[in-house]
Amino acid sequence: MKSPVTVALVGNPNAGSTSLFNALTGAQSAVANYQRVTTSLNVREITHGGVSLRIVDVPGIFSTSSQSPEEKVGCDYIHDEEPDIIVNVLDAGHLDRSLFLTTQLIETGLPRITVLNMMDEVRRAGIRIDTTLLASALGSPVVETCALKKEGVDALLDAVAAMASTTPATPMRLHYDSHLEAAIERVQQHLSTLHPQELSPARSRWLAIKMLEGDDEILRHESNHADLIGEIKGEQTALAHEHDEDTASLLASARFAFSNGLLREARQQEGDPTAGFKLTRILDDFFLNRTLGLPLLLGILWVMFEATFSLGAIPTDWIKVGVQLATDLVDKSLPEGMFHDLVVNGVMAGVGGTIVFLPNIVILFFFMAILSGTGYLARASFLMDRVMHHFGLHGTTLIPMVAGFGCNVPAVMATRVITNKRARLIAMLIAPFMNCSARLPVFILFAGAFFADIAGTVVFAMYMLSLVAAMVSAVLLNRIIPGSGGDAFVMELPPYRLPTLHSVLHHMWDSAQGFVAKVTGVILVGSVVIWFLQEFPRDIAYSQDFETVVAEQTALPDSPEKEAALRTLKSAQAQEKLEKSYLGRSAIAVTPLFQPLGFSWRDSAAIMTGFVAKEVVVATYAVIYAQEKGSDQLTETLRGAMPPATAIAFMIFTLLYAPCLSTIAIIGKEAQSWRWAGFSVVYSLSFAWLLALAAGRIGGTFL
Amino acid sequence: MAQQISSDILTLADLGPEQQGEVVKIETEDGVFKRRMQSLGVVAGTPVTLDRAAPLGDPRIYSLMGYSLGLRNAEARQIRIRVK
C-alpha cells in the first residue's frame, strides 16, 4: 500500500469516533455526549509499527445515502476520497442500529476494520458479543475498545498496520432477494458498458445499488446517460409493483434483516436487558418530568450562573491583590515619564482589569463541560423544542445557543446540526445574541458595582435576556427571510454518561488558555492603543490656562480651601485633556447617538472599542479611569459615574450590540454571504439601541 | 387474521404508553426524511414503544432498537404502525 496509509474513522454520530481519534493520535479534539460535535474532518499523521498512517476523523453519519446536509461532509468523504482503510466505529451498546451503516460500508468494497467501542458499558449491562462470529459475518477484523479509557487502542493500531501491509482480500458482499439481485445485476451491466474497464466489480455493484436507492448525487453524475436513468426508473417501478414498497425501503429492510439475524446469533444477553438503562431511566423520570422538567432546566441554569459569579469572586480577589502588587512594583521601579504612564495606566490597567475575570470564565466552562458531557444538553433541546417551535426555532438550535454562552464563533459553526438551510441561517443570525464569555466580565463588573446584593441573579438575568432576544429575533427573522419550512425534530437521546475528569479539566484548561491568550494579545494591544488615543495629541488648546491658574493657587498660603481648589483644577484639566484626546474626540462625535440612552462619551468609547472583542470594554474603562482619577478601584469609580438605570441600559446594550469582529467573519463565511454578516451588525445595533432605551427609561422610574 | 391486524393500523403518534407497536411503513413524499428514518431503524417490522412525552406533549421519545429517539408528533404521524 502507498504511504502514508489513509485510515478513515467512520461511525454513527455520538459513537465515539472523535474520542477514538484522540486516543489514537494524542489529539485533543472536542468531544461531548450529544450528536454532531464534530462537523468537519480532523486529520493527523502518526506512525505505528513502522507504518505511517494518516488518520481521518469523519463527522458522524447514520448512512451513506441520507443526503441530509449535516451528513454531507461524511458521505462525500467516503464517496470521493476512497480511504485506504475504513475503521468502522460502532457504539457496541447500539449495534442494532449502527450495523446499518456497516452494511453500506461493506458495499463500498474498501478494506474495513470493525471497532466495537464503549465495550465497558456493554459488559456492565451483562451482554456478551461473539466477535469471532461477527468478524466472519462482516468480513473484517473486529477490535473491542473503550476509547475514553484508551483501552484496545494498541490492538486497533496493530490491526490497521497489519491490514496496511497485506493485499486486500476480495471484498464480501451482502445478498438481497432474487428480484433485487437481478435488478442490481442489470444496472451493473449497463454501467460497465457505459464505462468499460473503469469500474471494478465491487465498485459497479456499489454504484448500481446507490442508483437504485435513488442517490441523487450519483444519479446527477450519470445524468447525461438518459437510457441508464430510464432503466433505473423502470427497475424501481417494477420492484415497487412486485413488493408494494419503494426500492430504498426494500434495501433498508434487507440490511436490517441481515444485521438483526447476525445479532441474534452473535449477541447474548445475561440477566436483565434493561439493566444498563436503568440509571438513565431514573434520571429521565426526574429531568424530563412533565411538570418539573422545565423549571429544573431554569434552576440548573440559575445555579450555573450564580456559581459562576459567586464562586469566581474568591480567586478573583487573589488575582486582584496580585495585580495590585505588580502594579505598585512597576509604578515604583520605572522612572517617571511617558513609558511609565503607558505601562501603569495603559498595559497594567487594561490587562490587569481584565485578567481578574479568569476564574469566572473557567467556572463557566466547567459547567458547560458538565452539561454537554453528561447528555443533559440533548435533553434540554428535547424539553425546549415545543417552546422554541412557537418562535419558529428548532429544539436542536438550543445546542448552538448554549455553545454561544462560551463563544459565539463555535456557536455559529455548531448551527451545522440544523438540516434546513433557512432554519440554519436564522440560527446563525441569532447566535450572536448569546451572552458569550467575553461579555461576562462587563456584567460581573457592572452587577458587582451597582447591584452587589443580587449580582448573581443580575448575571443570570442577562443570560435569560440573551435567550429572549434570540427568540424574539427568530420570530422577526422568520417573517423577513423568504421561504418557509423548518426541520423535523429527529434526535437521539444518548444515555447519561459521566464525563471523564480529563475531558472536563481539558475543557477548563482550554478556556483558561484561550482567555489568557486573548488578554495578552488583543487586550494588551487594545490597551496600548487606547492609552495612546487618550494621551494624544499633547498640544491641547485648553479652555483656560491651567498652568498659570495652578501656579497662582499654589502661591497662596496653605489652607483646606487651597487643597480643594487645586484638586478641582487638576481633575478639570485631566477631564478636558481626555475629552480633547483622539479617543475623546471620536467618542464625543458618536455620543449624540447614545445620548437618549444616557451614555457619556466614556461609555461610547468603551462601546466602540468593544467592536474588536467585548472584553476590551472593561479594558477601556480601566485605562480611562486609571488616567483620569488615578484610581485602581474600577468598581468604586464606576458606581459614581452613572445612575443604576443607565448601568442597566449599558449592560443591555453591551449584551446585544453588534457581534465582535471574529463572529462577523464567521457568519460571513458560514452563511457564504457578507450581506448577512452586514445585516447581523445593523440589526443587532438597532435592536440593542431600542431595548437599552426602553430598559433605561423603565429602570429610571423605579430605581 | 391478516385482515384483522391491518384494520388496527395507526400512526406512531397514536401509540400509547403501555402499547407495543411495530413499524409498517413510512408515508411521506419527503425522500430525505424517509431515508433518514430508515437509517435510524424505522423500517417495516421494527418493534417500537413510547417512552415519554415532553412537558407539552410534543415531541415524544420512542424506544426502538435499544435506543431512544426523539420525534415531533408531526413526524410521528407519517409513520404507520400496527399495535400488538
Which chain B residues have a beta carbon less than 8 Å from that of A65? Answer: 35, 39
Are A20 and A141 in a shared domain? yes
In chain B, which ranges are E strands?
Answer: 9-11, 21-26, 47-53, 60-64, 67-71, 79-83
List the grid coordinates of A560. 483646606
* pTM of the complete model: 0.81
* A696 shares contact with chain B (CB less than 8 Å): no
Are A56 and A119 in a shared domain? yes
In a domain? residue A515: no
**Which strands sit side by side in the sheet containing B79-83, from one edge to the other?**
A490-493, B67-71, B60-64, B47-53, B21-26, B79-83, B9-11
Closest CA to A503 of A384, A604, A366: A366
Are A330 and A241 in a shared domain? no
In a domain? residue A189: yes
List the grid coordinates of A420. 434546513
Inter-chain contact B39–A68, Cβ cutoff 8 Å? no
Which chain A residues have a beta carbon less than 8 Å from that of B46? Answer: 256
Which chain A residues have a beta carbon less than 8 Å from that of B67? Answer: 94, 96-97, 492-493
Confidence check: pLDDT of A95 > 90? yes
Q: Binning pLDDT at 50, 70 and 90, where does residue A558 land?
A: confident
Q: What is the pLDDT of residues A310-319, one digit of tens each?
A: 888 888 889 8
Q: Are A27 and A21 in contact (CB under 8 A)?
A: yes
**% pLDDT > 70, chain A:** 96
Inter-chain contact A62–B61, Cβ cutoff 8 Å? no
Q: Are A116 and A90 in contact (CB under 8 A)?
A: yes
In A156-304, which ranges are E strands?
Answer: 267-269
Domain boundary among A135, A164, A193: A164
Confidence check: pLDDT of A408 > 60? yes
- The mean pLDDT value for B25-41 works out to 87
Chain B contacts in chain A segment 418-457 (CB below 8 A): none
The alpha carbon of residue A690 is apart from the nearest alpha carbon of chain B, in Å, by 33
**Which CATH homologous superfamily contains domain B2-83?**
Ferrous iron transport protein A (FeoA) (2.30.30.90)
In a domain? residue A416: yes
Inter-chain contact B75–A489, Cβ cutoff 8 Å? yes
Residue A345, marked binder: no
* A490 shares contact with chain B (CB less than 8 Å): yes
Lowest mean per-residue pLDDT among A63-67, A178-182, A194-198, A488-492: A63-67
List the grid coordinates of A558. 496653605
In a domain? residue A254: yes
Bridge partners, residue B80, by sequence: B11, B25
Are A250 and A397 in a shared domain? no
List the grid coordinates of A491. 434526535
Which chain B residues have a beta carbon less than 8 Å from that of A486? Answer: none
Are A243 and A299 in a shared domain? no
List the grid coordinates of A493. 437521546
Q: Are A503 and A373 in contact (CB under 8 A)?
A: yes
Distances (CA, A) of A35 to A104, A261, A593: 21, 28, 44
Inter-chain contact B72–A101, Cβ cutoff 8 Å? no
* A269 shares contact with chain B (CB less than 8 Å): no
Q: Which residue has the higher pLDDT, A434 or A629?
A: A434
Are A361 and A416 in a shared domain? yes
* A387 shares contact with chain B (CB less than 8 Å): yes
Question: DSSP letter at A416?
Answer: G
In a domain? residue A363: yes
Q: Binning pLDDT at 50, 70 and 90, where does residue A1 land?
A: low
Domain count, chain A: 5
Q: Binning pLDDT at 50, 70 and 90, where does residue A273 land?
A: low
Inter-chain contact B58–A96, Cβ cutoff 8 Å? no
Residue A30 has a pLDDT of: 75
List the grid coordinates of A597. 440612552
Q: Are A107 and A173 in contact (CB under 8 A)?
A: yes
- The mean pLDDT value for A459-471 works out to 91
First-to-final CA distance of chain B: 13
The SS3 of residue B63 is: strand
Distance CA A535, CA A437 (A): 30
Residue A537 has a pLDDT of: 81
Are A583 and A453 in a shared domain? no
Q: What is the pLDDT of residues A574-613, one digit of tens each?
A: 778 888 888 888 888 888 999 899 999 889 999 988 888 8
In this structure, what is the dihedral angle of CA atoms A643, A649, A654, A658, given to the nearest 10 degrees? Answer: -140
Closest CA to A300 of A414, A408, A384, A413: A384
Domain boundary among A480, A499, A514: A480
Return mean pLDDT, chain A: 86
Closest CA to A163 of A80, A49, A64, A18: A49
Query: Residue for cell digits 397514536?
Result: B14
Are A108 and A93 in a shared domain? yes
Q: What is the pLDDT of residues A643-660, one digit of tens each?
A: 999 999 999 999 999 888
Question: Which of A67, A96, A385 lies closest to B41 in CB terms?
Answer: A96
Which chain A residues have a beta carbon less than 8 Å from that of B69? Answer: 490-493
Handedness of CA A468, A472, A478, A481 (dihedral sign): negative
Confidence check: pLDDT of A113 > 90? yes
Q: Binning pLDDT at 50, 70 and 90, where does residue B3 land?
A: very low
Residue B4 has a pLDDT of: 44
Question: Which of A97, A253, A284 lies closest to B44 in CB terms?
Answer: A253
In a domain? residue A642: yes
Closest CA to A591 of A612, A605, A610: A605
Distance CA A9, CA A395 (A): 29
Residue A628 has a pLDDT of: 59
Contacts of A694 (CB under 8 A, 6+ apart): none
Inter-chain contact A248–B35, Cβ cutoff 8 Å? yes
Residue A16, marked binder: yes
Which chain B residues have a beta carbon less than 8 Å from that of A389? Answer: 72
Distance CA A16, CA A9 (A): 10
Q: Is A198 exposed, middle or buried (0-12, 13-18, 19+ CB in 10 A)?
A: exposed
The SS3 of residue A129 is: strand
Distance CA A91, CA A94 (A): 5
Cα A373 to the center of its chain, rounded Å? 13
Q: What is the pLDDT of residues A154-185, one digit of tens each?
A: 999 999 999 988 877 777 888 898 999 999 99
Q: What is the CATH number of the domain that holds A116?
A: 3.40.50.300
Which chain A residues have a beta carbon less than 8 Å from that of B54? Answer: 288, 290, 293, 382-383, 385-386
Confidence check: pLDDT of A684 > 90? yes
Q: Are B72 and B59 in contact (CB under 8 A)?
A: yes
**% pLDDT > 90, chain A:** 32
Are A314 and A447 in a shared domain? yes
Are A359 and A442 in a shared domain? yes
Lowest mean per-residue pLDDT among A196-200, A525-529, A631-635: A631-635
Bridge partners, residue A269, by sequence: A127
What range does the domain containing A644 cover? 526-536+571-702
Confidence check: pLDDT of A486 > 90? no
Task: Give the residue on B whose Cα is nearest the Cα of A491.
Answer: B70
Bridge partners, residue A90, by sequence: A116
Q: Give the number of other Cβ atoms within 10 Å of residue A503's Cβ.
A: 20
* A274 shares contact with chain B (CB less than 8 Å): no
Helix axes A644-656, A674-702, angle to 10 degrees: 160
Residue A18, marked binder: yes
